[in-house]
Amino acid sequence: MKYKLLIMVSGGVFALTACNRNQDATTNADLNVAIDNSMEANVAAEAGPTMSQDFVNAAAASDKFEIESSKLAAAAGASAAVKRFADNMISAHTDSTAKLKSTVAGMNPPLTPDDSLNADQQTALDGLKGKTGAAFDTAYAAAQVDAHQKTLDALKAYSAGGDNVALKSFADGLIPTVTAHFNMAKGLK
* Contact (Cβ atoms closer than 8 angstroms) between residue 137 and residue 188: yes
Sign of the four-CA dihedral 86, 152, 174, 164: negative
Peptide bond into 176 cis (omega under 30): no
How much of the chain exceeds pLDDT 70, in percent? 73
Q: Where are the domains of the chain?
A: 2-43, 49-187
- pTM score of the predicted model: 0.73
Q: Where does 49-187 sit in CATH, by number?
A: 1.20.1260.10
Show contacts of 68-74: CB within 8 Å, 24+ apart: 68/125, 69/124, 69/125, 69/128, 69/140, 69/143, 69/144, 69/147, 72/125, 72/128, 72/129, 72/136, 72/140, 73/128, 73/136, 73/137, 73/140
Tens digits of residue pLDDT in 72-87: 999 999 999 999 999 9
> Where is 170: in which H helix or E strand?
helix 165-187
pLDDT greater than 70 at residue 23: no
* Contact (Cβ atoms closer than 8 angstroms) between residue 127 and residue 17: no
pLDDT of residue 33: 38
pLDDT of residue 20: 41
pLDDT of residue 189: 66
> 114 falls in which pLDDT band (50, 70, 90)?
very high
Q: 36: which residues sit within 8 A by CB, 6+ positions away?
A: none
* Contact (Cβ atoms closer than 8 angstroms) between residue 82 and residue 137: yes
> 63 falls in which pLDDT band (50, 70, 90)?
very high
pLDDT of residue 48: 64
pLDDT of residue 2: 40
CA distance linking residue 136 with residue 16, whole number of Å: 61
Mean of the pLDDT values across residues 141-167?
96
Average pLDDT, the chain: 81
pLDDT of residue 171: 97
pLDDT greater than 90 at residue 34: no
Which tops the pLDDT comparison, 129 or 28?
129
CA distance linking residue 62 with residue 68, whole number of Å: 10
pLDDT of residue 5: 35
